[in-house]
Structure 1
C-alpha cells in the first residue's frame, strides 16, 4: 500500500491535514480572505480541502491549487466547480504570470525545504497587499533526539515567529493548536487507519495498514506528543520589505 493511499484512509474523518478543528480553520480563512472575493493559491494543496472550504463560503472567490499528487488532485476535481483550477506539478517549482491576493501553504513546508523557503515561494506569487496563510510545526518543549530524528530540526514558538518577522513579514492573525486539536488529529488519523484495516482483514494491504497505524500511534505517544506543537499564521508583507 503506497503512502498516498495510507494518507487518504487516515484522513477519512479529518480531511484538513493539520491539527486544526473546524472553528480554527474558519477563523484562519476569515483572516486570510477578509474580502471574500480574492484570488487564492494553495501551494501543496493535496485534496484541496482548504480551497474547497473557502470556495463553499465565498461565492466570489477564485482559487488555484498546486500539488505533485495526481491522486489527490483527482479527488479535489471531483468536489470542485469551475472556480477551482488545479495544477499537477511540484509546488516549489510552480510558476505563474498571475499574482494572488492570498497564498496558502499549511503543513507543506517540507516540500520547499522549510518555513522560510516556503514563505519565499509564497512571496513570488503574492499580489501587493496580499496575505499568506502558513502552518508549520514547532517545539513546545526540548525534543528528544528520537523526536528530532523523526520530525527534523526546529525551533520554539517565539523563535519561529521572530524568524518570520525578520524575513519581512508581519503577523496579522495566528493560532497555536490546542492540546485537544493536536490529540484529536492523531487519534483520528491512526484510529481511521486501524479501523479500515480491521474492516478489511481479508483484503490486500490490511496487515500493512494496521501495522502502520500501530507504529504511528506509538511514535506519537512515546516520542513527540509532549514536545511538538503546530502554529498557523496569517502574514502580510512588512512595509518597505517588498
Structure 2
C-alpha cells in the first residue's frame, strides 16, 4: 500500500490538508482580493480544497491544480464535479517542479508542499516564475515555536522560527502583506482528523493494508502527541510579488 494512497485516505475528512480552519481559509482567500477573471495556480493541490474554495469565492476565476498523487487528483476531480466547478479547474497529475505554463497567474498557492521544490526559498523562487509582477502567493509552511528535541527535528525537519520563515519567504522578491498563524485548536482538528480517519479506515479494512495503515497512524500520532504538538507551528503567508 503506497504512501500516497495512505495520505489521500487520511485527508478525506480534512481536505484543506493543513492545520487551517474553513474560516481561516476563507479569510486568507478574501484578503487576496483577486481581480475579475483571475488565474490561479495550486502547486501540490492535494484534493484541491484551496483552489475549489477560491473558485467559489471568485466566480469568474479559473484554476490549475498540480499534484503528483493520482489519488489526490482523482478526489479533487470528483469534488470539482460535485460542486459544479469542473469547467473552471484543470488538474495535472505531475510533480510541481515539472509543471510549466504559457501565461502568468494572479495567485500562486503552495500550502504544505514546499518540499516539492526543496524548501521555502526555492518555492518562492519557483512561484516567481509563474506569478505576474504585482500578483500574489499563498504559501503555508511549518516553523518551530520552540526548539524541538534532536529526535523530533530529525523526523520533522530543520525549520527556522517564525521570523526566519518570513525572512526566507521574502528573500526572492516577495513582500508579506498578510498572514495567518494556526492555533492549537486548528492543529488538533487537523491531526485528530488525519489519525482518526486513517484508524477508522484500518478498522474497516482488516488485513495487510489495514495493518499497514494502522501502523502508519500510530507512528504519526506518537510523533505528534509525544513530539511536536505545541512545538511545531504553521503559518500561511500572503505575499505580493514586487
Category of TM-score, reference length = shorter chain: over 0.9
1:223 aligns with 2:188: no
Q: Is the contact made by 1:33 and 1:102 (CA closer than 8 Å) also made in structure 2?
A: no
Show CA shifts across 1:33-56 (max 9, x none).
Answer: 433531100111122111111112
**Equivalent runs, 1:1-242 vs 2, <5 Å:** 1-35=1-35, 37-80=37-80, 81-201=86-206, 203-238=207-242
**Structure 2 vs 1, CA of residues 33 and 4 (structure 1 numbering), >3 Å: closer, same or farther?**
farther
Cα contact 1:43–1:67 (8 A) shared by 2: yes
TM-score calculated relative to the size of structure 2 = 0.93
Q: Distance in 2 between matches of 1:56 and 1:226?
A: 33
Cα distance between partner residues in 1 of 2:215 and 2:168: 38
Structure 2: gaps spanning 5 or more residues: 81-85
TM-score relative to the length of structure 1 = 0.93
User: CA–CA distance in 2 between the matches of 1:6 and 1:72?
Assistant: 10
Number of aligned residue pairs: give it.
237
- After TM superposition, what 4+ stretches of structure 1 lie above 6 angstroms from structure 2? none
Secondary structure of the structure 1 residue equivalent to 2:90:
strand
Counterpart of 2:83? none
Q: Distance in 2 between matches of 1:53 and 1:175?
A: 17
Unaligned runs of 5+ in 1: none
Deviation at 1:204, TM superposition (A): 4.7
Counterpart-to-counterpart distance in 1, 2:132 and 2:184: 35
**8 Å CA contact 2:202, 2:211 repeated in 1:** yes
The superposition leaves residues 116-158 of structure 1 with CA deviations (integer Å, 9 ceiling, x where unpaired) of 1001111000112210000000000011111111111110001
CA RMSD in angstroms comes to 1.5
